[in-house]
């Protein structure tokens, strides 16, 4: 019983010390809390706006791809023109098949 009472008193002293140490009144604390909430609201509204812009871009690109695929499906595919590859340039990539040597 004595231990419980002592613990309760110690908790009150520590909590009271924290309240006095900050030196702020309740109105200052509430004003600071409202300022923090306002900053959080501004940040979340910015994030929501960015997500909306991303969704809008995705929808635009999806419509663009769909219209491109519809156009390519409507027109018959032309035979690809075979042009000789210029191998004189050192930047041309040449593929060589790997063959097992026994």
Decide: 92 and 86 in contact? Cβ < 8 Å: yes
pLDDT (0 to 100) of residue 45: 84
Query: pLDDT, tens digit, for every residue of 7-55?
Result: 877 777 776 665 555 667 788 888 888 999 888 888 888 888 888 889 9
Q: What are phi and psi of 97, to 5 degrees?
A: -75, 140
- In Å, how far from its chain's centre is CA 59? 18
Question: How many residues make up the chain in this entry?
Answer: 102
Numbers of helices and strands, H then E, in the chain: 2, 0
Residue 69 has which token pair?
């695929």
Question: What ranges do the domains of the chain cover?
Answer: 8-73
């Amino acid at each position: 019983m004595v231990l419980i009472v002592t613990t309760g008193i110690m908790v009150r002293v520590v909590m009271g010390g924290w309240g006095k140490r900050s030196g702020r009144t309740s109105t200052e604390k509430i004003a600071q809390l409202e300022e923090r909430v306002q900053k959080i609201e501004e940040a979340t509204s910015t994030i929501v706006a960015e997500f909306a812009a991303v969704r809008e871009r995705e929808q635009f690109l999806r419509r663009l791809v769909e219209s491109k695929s519809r156009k390519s499906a409507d027109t018959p595919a032309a035979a690809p023109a075979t042009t000789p590859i210029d191998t004189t340039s050192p930047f041309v990539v040449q593929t060589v098949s790997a063959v097992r040597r026994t």
